[in-house]
């Protein structure tokens, strides 16, 4: 299943510059890595205080992926 639309929707609602959001998916052995690229001033908004926002996003995606027995890791990168 493609989880990028869910991630993209959530991240674009969080950031000040939604047109700068880019999602890249990398398949590894038994895991899918979703890399989120945002503008440098939006990184803090996506990560959140003490990583709460990114951890919540990871938890949400993994809950959706668990239905298909997929393992997903979400990573934030500044442009």
The domain covering 4-78 belongs, at the CATH homologous superfamily level, to K homology (KH) domain (3.30.300.20)
Give me the residue spans of the domains in the chain: 4-78
* Burial (0-12, 13-18, 19+ Cβ within 10 Å), 45: middle
Alpha-carbon torsion 61, 23, 25, 77, what sign? Answer: negative
pLDDT (tens digit, 9 = 90+) per residue, 22-71? 999 999 888 999 999 999 999 999 999 999 999 999 999 999 999 999 99
Given this model, what pLDDT does residue 28 score?
87
pTM higher than 0.85: yes
């Amino acid at each position: 299943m493609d989880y990028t639309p869910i991630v993209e929707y959530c991240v674009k609602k969080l950031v000040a510059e939604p047109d700068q959001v880019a999602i890249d998916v990398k398949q590894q052995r038994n895991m899918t890595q979703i890399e989120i690229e945002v503008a440098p001033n939006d990184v803090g908004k996506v990560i959140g205080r003490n990583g709460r926002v990114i951890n919540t996003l990871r938890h949400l995606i993994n809950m959706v992926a668990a239905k298909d027995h997929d393992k997903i890791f979400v990573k934030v990168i500044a442009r």
